[in-house]
């Protein structure tokens, strides 16, 4: 496999709606969790989707699910911390489906649980590299591709980017920074009709979430109870919000950090 790029193309077919008809959208972290659910949701409503993931196998699986449902999808293997790989994924998506008009940046890494005094430099650096630098590099390639035609970029921040959470300093810092980066991008992109927003999930039932709860099953109940709605979100609920924010129905929204957290940050 050539480093940073691997792809599979797809066909077209039936849709739930045409809300995103004609949109070409790249989704990073599309191999699982919010990214996977988001890619499938976007395709089901008319978008052609470049499914980008560090795992080519997982990217392909998501693209295959889109194709089997009658949509347009392409699997692409890229490390979001490698600009050349991210740029190549954007280029391949545009070559297959047309000019890029949207992006959903979901690639992320939670890191180890450790207070500031116990957090290793390696853990800190890796979380910042994936969550912040990876989002920056993805946005850079995406905004360059949208310079002529405009578009919409949606970053995944976190409820932890709006409040303080103990035990994960790198994650909290990186998600606060993603919100700042989102707002900077919104101001810089406005003159080219590029909208940039972020969603801030609470706890979501993803592989990242399950990796934590497997180690301590009591955490599941604790996290559910921390949300006023009393439960953990399903990935598709984030995908549905993303679908609207990436559509023309949200055409006057930019620079926003939207909580999708069951009321967690309203407390």
Q: What's the longest Cα–Cα distance across the chain?
A: 54
DSSP 3-state of 152? strand
What is the C-alpha separation between 253 and 106, in angstroms, rounded?
19
pLDDT digits (tens, 9 = 90+) for 125-176: 999 999 999 999 999 999 999 999 999 999 999 999 999 999 999 999 999 9
Q: Which residues of 203-214 are buried (b: 16+ CB within 10 A; e: fewer)?
A: bbbbeebeeebe
Could you state, in order of their start, the residue ranges of all structural domains in the chain? Answer: 7-266
Average pLDDT over residues 185-209: 96
Q: What is the CATH number of domain 7-266?
A: 3.40.50.720
139, 61 in Cβ contact below 8 A? no
* pLDDT at site 15: 60
- pLDDT band, very low/low/confident/very high, at 257 (cuts 50, 70, 90): very high
Tokens of 99: 């000019």
Report the pLDDT averaged over residues 67-82: 98
Q: Is the pLDDT of residue 2 over 60?
A: no
The answer to whether residue 267 scores a pLDDT higher than 80 is yes
**Of 41, 63, 27, 147, whose CA–CA distance to 99 is shortest?**
147
Residues annotated catalytic, as ranges = 171
């Amino acid at each position: 496999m050539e480093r940073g790029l691997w792809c599979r193309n797809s066909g077209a077919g039936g849709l739930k709606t045409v809300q995103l008809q004609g949109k070409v959208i790249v989704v990073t972290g599309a191999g699982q969790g919010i990214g996977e659910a988001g890619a499938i949701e976007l395709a089901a409503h008319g978008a052609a989707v470049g499914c980008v993931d560090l795992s080519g196998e997982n990217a392909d699986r998501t693209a295959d699910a889109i194709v089997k449902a009658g949509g347009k999808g392409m699997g692409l293997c890229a490390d979001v911390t490698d600009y050349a790989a991210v740029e190549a994924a954007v280029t391949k998506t545009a070559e297959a489906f047309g000019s890029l008009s949207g992006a959903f940046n979901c690639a992320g890494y939670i890191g180890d649980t450790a207070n500031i005094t116990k957090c290793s430099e390696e853990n800190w650096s890796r979380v910042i590299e994936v969550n912040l630098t990876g989002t920056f590099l993805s946005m850079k390639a995406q905004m360059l591709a949208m310079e002529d035609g405009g578009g919409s970029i949606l970053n995944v921040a976190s409820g932890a980017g709006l409040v303080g959470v103990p035990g994960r300093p790198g994650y909290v810092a990186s998600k606060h920074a993603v919100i700042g980066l989102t707002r900077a991008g919104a101001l810089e992109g406005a003159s080219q009709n590029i909208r940039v927003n972020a969603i801030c999930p609470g706890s979501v039932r993803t592989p990242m979430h399950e990796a934590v709860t497997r180690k301590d099953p009591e955490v599941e109940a604790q996290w559910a109870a921390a949300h006023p709605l009393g439960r953990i979100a399903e990935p598709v609920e984030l995908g549905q919000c993303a679908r609207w924010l990436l559509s023309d129905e949200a055409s006057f929204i930019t620079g926003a950090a939207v909580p999708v957290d069951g009321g967690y940050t309203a407390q």
